[in-house]
């Protein structure tokens, strides 16, 4: 993740900024749904922080695009890039709106739960128990995406959050995993975390 302080121009490749804005905004939608479905205010707070981060990235992208553009032709070539960044920024705002509902402390209305039903099947929140084979394994070695079609989108480790954990991150006993994927893969991950499934096979 590109690290940022206050918003001042930094020369960062537009490509890197766009990929990060795009990926973060998608991730944020699933994190916001997870915060709502699993009633996690702490996760909702993380989504609001990510939204600020995306805003900053979007400003930086605009600044870098402006500097890159020298003539009308450049401008025509790059206007689409700005538009995609702004669309992704809108999606991250929408995720923050959903997260904000969780913080309102009004509970999830049955109508909202109904609307989230399809989403619910492909999201999970599961704790790594003491006899789980996931303990001590690196994310990159597990290859959950390739093997069971599941991405771990966040890990809650005591008071710490690891959002979008990278390949080197190792899983610990007691970690709470937030994940998304195909409904069958999601069930498999739950079994692996709970220690009921003892082997991770290619599906």
Residues in touch with a copy of itself (CB under 8 A): 14-15, 18-19, 21-23, 29, 76-81, 83-84, 86-88, 90-91, 93-95, 97-98, 100-101, 104, 106, 108-109, 111-112, 114-116, 118, 149, 182, 203
Nearer Cβ to a copy of itself, position 53 or 156? 53
Nearer Cβ to a copy of itself, position 17 or 142? 17
Nearer Cβ to a copy of itself, position 128 or 144? 144
How many whole angstroms separate alpha carbon 171 and alpha carbon 87? Answer: 34
Q: Is the dihedral of CA 171, 174, 180, 185 positive or negative?
A: positive
How many whole angstroms separate alpha carbon 171 and alpha carbon 168? Answer: 10
Q: How far is the CB of 125 from a copy of itself (least distance, A)?
A: 19
Nearer Cβ to a copy of itself, position 85 or 128? 85
Q: How far is the CB of 162 from a copy of itself (least distance, A)?
A: 20
Q: How far is the CB of 161 from a copy of itself (least distance, A)?
A: 22
Nearer Cβ to a copy of itself, position 91 or 133? 91
Q: How far is the CB of 97 from a copy of itself (least distance, A)?
A: 4
Q: How far is the CB of 71 from a copy of itself (least distance, A)?
A: 15
């Amino acid at each position: 993740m590109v690290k940022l302080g206050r918003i001042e121009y930094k020369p960062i490749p537009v490509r890197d900024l766009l990929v990060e804005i795009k990926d973060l905004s998608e991730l944020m939608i699933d994190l916001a749904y997870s915060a709502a479905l699993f009633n996690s205010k702490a996760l909702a707070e993380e989504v609001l922080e990510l939204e600020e981060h995306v805003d900053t990235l979007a400003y930086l992208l605009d600044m870098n695009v402006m500097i890159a553009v020298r003539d009308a032709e450049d401008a025509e070539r790059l206007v689409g890039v700005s538009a995609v960044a702004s669309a992704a920024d809108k999606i991250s705002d929408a995720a923050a709106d959903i997260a904000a509902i969780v913080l309102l402390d009004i509970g999830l209305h049955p109508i909202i739960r109904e609307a989230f039903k399809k989403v619910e099947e492909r999201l999970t929140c599961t704790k790594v128990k003491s006899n789980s084979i996931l303990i001590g394994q690196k994310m990159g070695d597990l290859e959950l995406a390739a093997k069971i079609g599941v991405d771990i989108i966040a890990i809650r480790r005591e008071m710490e959050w690891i959002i979008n954990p990278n390949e080197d991150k190792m899983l610990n006993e007691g970690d709470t995993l937030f994940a998304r994927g195909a409904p069958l893969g999601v069930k498999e991950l739950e079994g692996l975390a709970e220690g009921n499934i003892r082997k991770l096979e290619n599906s």
